Amino acid sequence: MIVSGAVYLPDERRIITCSLDGSLRLWNLESGVQIGNDWRDDDEGGGGGDRRDGEVWTIVLSPNGKTAASGSSDGKVRL
């Protein structure tokens, strides 16, 4: 997994990363452990499947910290 982007969540204890394997992951910064399963934009169940169009290149967080947007190699932005 190659991490291509990361955003700090407002609590400053967690981050979300995006990767070239198509995954988004939530991390605990104090322990360094991933929280829950990774998720992919094209999964209805929120984790595990193969991303159809590959890589997630960037991720940003809304000003209120409640919504993340990712940009992918398929040219789409997903919330």
Whether 54 shows a pLDDT value over 90: the answer reads no
- Report the phi/psi class of residue 36: left, alpha or beta, with left for phi > 0 and alpha for psi in -120 to 50: left
The mean per-residue pLDDT over the stretch 4-20 comes to 94
Is the pTM for the entire model greater than 0.85? no
How does pLDDT run across 25-40, given as a tens digit for each residue?
Answer: 999 999 999 999 998 8
Residue 70 one-letter amino acid: S
Q: 12: Cβ–Cβ under 8 A, 6 or more apart, which residues? A: 29
